[in-house]
Structure 1
Amino acid sequence: MSADILNVALIQTRTPAHPAEALEHARPLLMQAASNGAQFILLPECANLMEARKEQKALVVTGEDEDVFIRGVRDLAKQMRVEILIGSAIVKSGVDEREHSSSDSGSAMRNVNRTLLVNTHGDIVARYDKIHLFDADTPDGKVYRESASVKPGEQAVVATTPWGGLGLSICYDVRFAHLYRTLAKAGANMIAVPAAFTVPTGRAHWEVLLRTRAIETGCFVLAPAQGGSHADGRVTYGHSLVVNPWGEIIARLDHDRPAVLEAQLDFGEVAAARQALPSLRHDRDFSV
């Protein structure tokens, strides 16, 4: 297979609330994707656990090196000789950063929501901590405050892969167009958007945002998603999809069930889209 052609697989999961259970949930899907010829497999956001309840989360979140899901995926990547993107894992930040507020005098260390790129040797070769955290009151009456337990990242990342630059982002990041333009200008020819979108925002915005990010960057956009009802009461949208650099959806799941979504990327399409619409070269300074 040419380095200009890539067989990808996106894993849509309904991740449980414990890393060990999450690994057993994801393992057969990962193995199915590899057996079907995928060279690069992407998992969604919160792939190691879906748990928003503070007390329960505190019992299962560990450091990156101790997390059984991360260790298991690294072993699988090595065994199957594929690259795997852990769309994100919730792990301890490794920094003794304490929250200090009048409402929480005992405050605890925050976690990070971290993407991990694992190569065919099982090594972690890139990391990205989610920059934009989901603090929102959604139309269904739910309140989300990701920043209460997660420390935001500060560094955009374009990872090196055998097929070119991979821009890293997570879920709510997709609403911040400047991040994606930065990733494209820094060498990305594909961008990952692993997610755990809510159902109301997913129905309204998921597809249009992902297509827009592809169009404005001239990149392939790869968006593996969580889907369905989770142990902590959250319900996620699913509908994983792949968008080409012209903004066309070339693969999609039309449901929220666990599944494997396969696509073939031809990176010649990146050059063609950017030649036809060279907007990445047309930025100008302006004032307001």
Structure 2
Amino acid sequence: MKVAVVQMNTKSNKEENLQKAEGFIRQAADNGATLVSLPEYFNYMGEEAGKLANAEEIANGQTVELLSDLAKQNEIYIHAGSMIEKHSEQKSYNTSLVIAPNGKIIGKYHKIHLFDIAINGVSSYMESNSIEGGDSSEMVELPFGKAGMAICYDLRFPELFRKYALEGCNILFLPAAFTQYTGMLHWETLLRARAIENQCYVIAAGQIGSHLPGKVCYGNSMIIDPWGTVVARAPEKEGVIYAELEEERVKSARESIPCLTHRKPQYY
């Protein structure tokens, strides 16, 4: 299964963001990808006040209709990293979707762990001011096997990924808008750890560059194999990276170190 990971610099103009995403998806399909993964908030990244205005219903929404058409036209799976889904008059959901080649949604995940941080002298951010957290995990069936869905800050909570591994996943999705500061410190280390400890491929599509004052993302979108090897890494610009997912890599990791995903520890 050939996967494409899209790295973007999404801003506040949704129409332009969607046009850009469409171009990258078509490029990936033309290059033989059968699965295309987009980053977190791929269709809108702007001021907090604009989130509610740009939130959409999933059914019949502009973004989903576009992605559904692209999936059908190109006969591919699309992992819609995340978008802002309407929830209430005060808050939205940060929602990740997987769309099948028939244009149907086969996976829907609401970000569980919201990005509420305060780093003295560097930055502070409260995603929970505008986003309602999810309360359940989500897996989807792909030709390569099961895939577990997560978003950005979820990366710091290994229990979610362990759950996916124990339930038979071969792929872990982690679309993100990781900040420049924390990205330099932790992004690659945590991604590779999640791959190694769960013996899964990690598909991590990220945002890059400045999006609004005080919000700069780290980029470094990656595809990591079950041994923890970075098999594809995006350069410091928007674009698409590719890798072939190989069943043999999953099998060899699990047969060589059969203590991680083959049996459930007694304390779980």
* Residue in 2 that maps onto 1:82: 76
Does structure 2 retain, via aligned residues, the 8 Å contact 1:158–1:186? no
CA deviations over 1:112-145 (Å, ceiling 9, x no partner): 0111000111111110111111100136522110
1:254 and 2:249 are equivalent in the alignment: no
What is the deviation of 1:28? 1.2
* Residue in 2 that maps onto 1:19: 14
* Residue in 2 that maps onto 1:64: 58
What is the deviation of 1:206? 0.5
User: Which of the residues 6, 9, 19 maps onto 2:4?
Assistant: 9
Alignment of 1:70-219 (within 5 A): 70-93=64-87, 96=88, 108-138=89-119, 141-219=122-200
User: Which of the residues 273, 277, 287 maps onto 2:257?
Assistant: 277
Identity %: 38
Moved more, 27-36 or 17-26: 17-26
- Equivalent AA in structure 1 for residue 221 of structure 2: S
Q: What residue ranges of structure 1 are gaps of 5+ in the alignment?
A: 1-5, 97-107
Q: What residue ranges of structure 2 are gaps of 5+ in the alignment?
A: none
Name the TM-score, length of structure 1 as normaliser: 0.88
- Shift in CA distance, 264/139, structure 1 to aligned 2, threshold 3 Å: farther
What is the deviation of 1:22? 1.4
Does structure 2 retain, via aligned residues, the 8 Å contact 1:29–1:259? yes
CA deviations over 1:235-283 (Å, ceiling 9, x no partner): 111110011101111110131x210001111012112111211223251
Moved more, 140-149 or 260-269: 140-149
Name the TM-score, length of structure 2 as normaliser: 0.95
Does structure 2 retain, via aligned residues, the 8 Å contact 1:156–1:168? yes
Does structure 2 retain, via aligned residues, the 8 Å contact 1:20–1:69? no
What is the deviation of 1:284? 2.7
Deviation beyond 6 Å, 4+ runs, structure 1: none
- Equivalent AA in structure 1 for residue 164 of structure 2: L
- Shift in CA distance, 160/215, structure 1 to aligned 2, threshold 3 Å: same
Does structure 1 retain, via aligned residues, the 8 Å contact 2:52–2:86? no
What is the deviation of 1:47? 1.2
Question: Which structure has the larger Rg?
Answer: 1
Q: How many residues end up aligned between the 2 structures?
A: 266
The CA RMSD over aligned residues, in Å, is: 1.5
